[in-house]
Amino acid sequence: MNLSCKPLHTYDVSYIIGALPEVESAKLRYTQHRPAIQLRAQHQNHSFSVCGPPSSSIANHLSGDVPNDVVAKMIILKSMLQCIDNSGAALVECVLVIGKKKAARIGDRIVVVVQKHKGAADNLMTTGAARVRRGDIRHAVIVRTKYRSQRDDGSVIRFDDNACVLVNKTGEPVGTRINGVVGKELGRKKWSKILSMAPRSL
């Protein structure tokens, strides 16, 4: 894939190094000509790069002939999510699904860019608002998805939106409060602290 065109945005993503210990440095680059994300990294004396597929081909990359409305519900590269904690972030964009997964589900960890920060009025009501700013690169845990999830008992659940909460490198929540319902799968995936912070789980 040719990514030699002028970048539209460039972000420092040194924050993801905690999730990828073998990587010493990295950069995410959005290109205007092709909507792809490029991860450049340096490991000891060897440099390498990884490119995400163009958004138009993500559906084919996932599972072949998947309807566009289904893909829109999945949390993949460039998916937008609501941040429902009081860290100060309101809307984030997924730039990396951690682990060998094509799409993230409830309880999965991702890397996000903060696209929208809570306003000044909201900041007065959130104790963690000063911790996160627009453009920050952060880790997040998925707590709700539009895509339906089938449980071990045979029941199926899906939510009205895709939502997450921010966590630090060690997996501790950045915020001190969660506003909204979260999925019970968090407990099974060892995110019991996030589950206990939520007012309700389904």
Q: Looking at the structure, tell me whether residues 30 and 120 fall in a common domain.
A: no
Domains in the chain, number: 2
Q: Could you tell me if residue 169 is inside a domain?
A: yes
Structure tokens at 7: 């970048």
Q: Could you tell me if residue 173 is inside a domain?
A: yes
Q: What CATH number does residue 161 fall under?
A: 2.40.150.20
Q: Could you tell me if residue 72 is inside a domain?
A: yes
Q: Looking at the structure, tell me whether residues 114 and 172 fall in a common domain.
A: yes
In terms of C-beta distances under 8 Å and separation of at least 24 residues, what long-range contacts does 180-187 make, across chains too?
Answer: 180/84, 180/144, 181/144, 182/106, 182/143, 182/144, 183/106, 183/107, 183/143, 183/144, 183/145, 183/149, 183/157, 183/159, 185/105, 185/106, 185/107, 185/149, 185/151, 186/106, 186/107, 186/141, 186/143
Region of poorest pLDDT, from 8-17, 69-78, 144-153 = 8-17
Q: Could you tell me if residue 60 is inside a domain?
A: no
pLDDT at residue 190 tops 70: yes
The C-alpha atoms of residue 76 and residue 59 are separated, in whole angstroms, by 10
Domain residues for the domain of 80 are 65-202
pLDDT at residue 125 tops 60: no
pTM for the model stands at 0.64
Nearest to 18 by CA among 102, 138, 164, 105: 138
Averaged pLDDT, 119-133: 57
pLDDT tens digit string along 8-67?
344 444 444 444 444 444 444 444 444 444 444 444 444 434 444 433 333 344 444 444
pLDDT, averaged across the chain:
71
Q: Looking at the structure, tell me whether residues 45 and 75 fall in a common domain.
A: no
Q: What contacts 148, CB < 8 A, 6 or more positions away?
A: 156, 157, 158
At 187 the pLDDT is 87
Q: Could you tell me if residue 183 is inside a domain?
A: yes
pLDDT tens digit string along 155-183?
888 899 999 999 998 999 999 999 999 99
Helix ranges, 13-132 (H): 58-63, 68-73, 120-123
At 114 the pLDDT is 94
Q: Looking at the structure, tell me whether residues 165 and 72 fall in a common domain.
A: yes
